A and B are shown apart, each in its own frame.
Chain A
């Protein structure tokens, strides 16, 4: 075990795979000499050389499309979007080409696109988004949202190993905020298996990414009121652990779904409707959804705070649900 930040754990996972497997390479804007905008690939070019840590022109389409071609030729590319927001420029390559190639042409596309996502530090409308739900809707893409350093490493290795296009959402606000013991050896964390972040009996929170920690802080506050909150960290949205969610819903009978992506059309709606369809008779209260507002991510701190679900918002939601 070694103590690592969430960011160091991502670097460590990537480095472990690049040392183990020559097919793995990194491509993105400023990932080489500069080490990446957030320094995830700092020192990589020195170790692996300029043809495995490739500084690309400002060309998201060519980065993702290039990864697809290289993957079909047997490589295991890992693309970095400088910010998750810029994935919009490569939408066509992901959604039109990569996602559908296995289904229609029988050709697997094992690529990973790393997406530094999330807000909380006045990044504004173009450096703060959490567009995971948009991609969860596209058949053929896998969507991964690690919430802890240990998962950040293990899920990245699983993503590289996976024979499909994987969108790996790494939350920028967790990069240096979280520090924990991470196994130094290579390990994988399987997709589609939720993690119980906190065990509880009275209310279930289903969430992922940075909101796991917001939920954790809220749950601590509810302890004082004698409310026991269970927190399920989904870890991956595609595939998502329906079984674990339904089991927890059956256990507590009250569910709050929480995400930092915007509310309408967010993945929380999918979870809520699945619970309503399959565990309705176990519920003692309507499912509560807490999500970001249906607006672009605003810049100014009070606006951004109002946009992103805060601990107080979750506390309020949990209290109402507990009292229902």
Chain B
């Protein structure tokens, strides 16, 4: 039997108000989810058009999870989102045109062409750029929490990892240190059931990954990752608990990766029935229905948000395409930091 707590769905507008969101917030989240999916859908087209070098990763199926967690974060909180967490970047305010510029290796992307796809973050928005080695950013997220604890700041760090990365030692070291020192951190496990082609039963032998939290001395929660409000409410509880000195929480957000590991991968190894079953729980469609039933979302509102997102993304792609490619003479610029680089909000 699982040890971790299973989160409840949010059943009414009243309930979600109690968790801190009003109707306007909900419509904003819906819009953010549409932008998140739209960026990746359009990115995929740009990739097929040959406008995006390298490879291309999407987080289809994870929009509720990423947007739900990011919405629960405070303005001064920080996080280390991964390649399925585009919704975190969008929620925190990264402008879509810069994301397209990043995809296309342009000078105005957050990494100025130094790194590709979702290996980016705007540190001014409290995000740290991921690396390919998963979950190498978990110890870094713990370090952010350590800084907050040393300085006695009421800030929380959020560290993301996948169920595949849960097999690695750095996951253990990070959670153990966070547990021992009761640091203000929330661990979010994006469990999308496939680590590239490897299914969960070949990745871990416990019933749920959230069960492991107890072994580290903190709470574990399993949440339906296709339910943006349930994710939000659990993330909010965990973040505020950490802020109040209650230590870490691990939230396992269960979804299905609705596409291949990257766009070159047709995911032939995922049973067709599994895709069909999870397609019925599409996070965006699910939230749209909830909003219609519980928050009186109208046809006009739906049309309006769809149109505004469409325009936003079209403008974003145009602006990104106008961004120059990086100058090859700048190749070795920025390998080392200068003292002036420390002039950031975090270092003051």
Residues of chain A touching chain B, judged by Cβ–Cβ distance below 8 Å, are: 25, 27, 51-52, 54, 56-57, 59, 61-62, 64-75, 77, 92-93, 96-97, 100-110, 139-140, 142, 163-164
Chain A residues in 8 Å Cβ range of B176: 57, 59, 62
CB pair B342 A163 closer than 8 Å: yes
Interface size class, chain B: 35 or more
- Check B86 for interface membership: any CB of A closer than 8 A: no
Chain A residues in 8 Å Cβ range of B336: 102, 140, 142, 163-164
Residue among A92, A100, A104, A139 with max Cβ neighbours from chain B (10 Å) = A104
CA distance A97 to B338 in the complex (A): 18
Other-chain contact of A163, B145, B335, B341, B346 (Cβ < 8 Å): B341
CA distance A34 to B321 in the complex (A): 58
CB pair A61 B169 closer than 8 Å: yes
CB under 8 Å from chain A, chain B span 143-169:
143-151, 157, 169
Chain B residues in 8 Å Cβ range of A59: 173, 176-177
CA distance A64 to B344 in the complex (A): 22
Binds A, one of B37-45, B129-137, B247-255, B258-266: B129-137
Other-chain contact of A65, B142, B151, B180, B181 (Cβ < 8 Å): B142
- Check B16 for interface membership: any CB of A closer than 8 A: no
Given contacts A96-B131, A105-B115, A66 and B120 within 8 Å (CB-CB)? no
CA distance A69 to B145 in the complex (A): 8
Known contacts A71-B143, A102-B334; 14 additional CB pairs below 8 A are A27-B146, A62-B174, A65-B136, A67-B143, A69-B143, A72-B128, A73-B78, A75-B147, A102-B336, A105-B121, A105-B123, A106-B110, A110-B342, A164-B336
CB pair A106 B123 closer than 8 Å: yes
Chain A residues in 8 Å Cβ range of B140: 65-66, 68-69, 72, 93, 97
Given contacts A65-B136, A69-B147, A107 and B157 within 8 Å (CB-CB)? no
Residue among B121, B140, B145, B174 with max Cβ neighbours from chain A (10 Å) = B140
Would you give the shortest CB distance from A61 to chain B, in whole angstroms?
5
List the A residue with the shortest CB-CB distance to B342: A163
CB pair A65 B133 closer than 8 Å: no
- Check B141 for interface membership: any CB of A closer than 8 A: yes
List the A residue with the shortest CB-CB distance to B341: A108
Number of A-B contacts (CB under 8 A): 155
Chain B residues in 8 Å Cβ range of A69: 128, 139-147, 157
CB pair B131 A73 closer than 8 Å: no
- Check B281 for interface membership: any CB of A closer than 8 A: no
Other-chain contact of B115, A54, A70, A75, A104 (Cβ < 8 Å): A104
CB pair B150 A66 closer than 8 Å: no
Q: Which 8 A-B pairs have the closest CB atoms?
A: A69-B143, A65-B139, A108-B337, A105-B129, A66-B143, A73-B147, A62-B173, A163-B337
Chain B residues in 8 Å Cβ range of A68: 139-140, 143
Other-chain contact of B142, A54, A62, A109 (Cβ < 8 Å): A62
Other-chain contact of B337, A27, A74, A110 (Cβ < 8 Å): A110
List the A residue with the shortest CB-CB distance to B179: A57
CA distance A45 to B120 in the complex (A): 38
CB under 8 Å from chain A, chain B span 72-129:
78, 110-112, 114-115, 119-121, 123, 128-129
CB pair A73 B177 closer than 8 Å: no
List the A residue with the shortest CB-CB distance to B159: A69
Given contacts A61-B139, A164-B337, A70 and B128 within 8 Å (CB-CB)? no
CA distance A51 to B173 in the complex (A): 19
Q: When each residue 184-227 of chain B gets 1 if its CB lies under 8 Å from chain A and 0 otherwise, what string results?
A: 00000000000000000000000000000000000000000000
CB pair A103 B142 closer than 8 Å: no
CB pair B335 A140 closer than 8 Å: yes
- Check B272 for interface membership: any CB of A closer than 8 A: no
Chain B residues in 8 Å Cβ range of A106: 110-112, 123, 334, 341
A-B contacts, 27 listed (Cβ < 8 Å): A56-B177, A57-B176, A59-B177, A62-B170, A62-B173, A65-B136, A65-B138, A66-B139, A66-B142, A67-B143, A69-B142, A69-B147, A69-B157, A70-B147, A70-B150, A73-B143, A74-B344, A93-B170, A97-B133, A102-B334, A104-B115, A105-B115, A105-B121, A105-B129, A110-B337, A139-B335, A164-B336
- Check B348 for interface membership: any CB of A closer than 8 A: yes
CA distance A64 to B139 in the complex (A): 8
CB pair B346 A73 closer than 8 Å: yes
Would you give the shortest CB distance from B125 to chain A, in whole angstroms?
12
Given contacts A70-B150, A102-B334, A97 and B177 within 8 Å (CB-CB)? no
- Check B271 for interface membership: any CB of A closer than 8 A: no
Chain B residues in 8 Å Cβ range of A139: 335
List the B residue with the shortest CB-CB distance to A95: B133
CA distance A70 to B148 in the complex (A): 8
Chain A residues in 8 Å Cβ range of B119: 104
CA distance A66 to B141 in the complex (A): 7
Would you give the shortest CB distance from A190 to chain B, in whole angstroms?
13
Would you give the shortest CB distance from B36 to chain A, in whole angstroms?
21
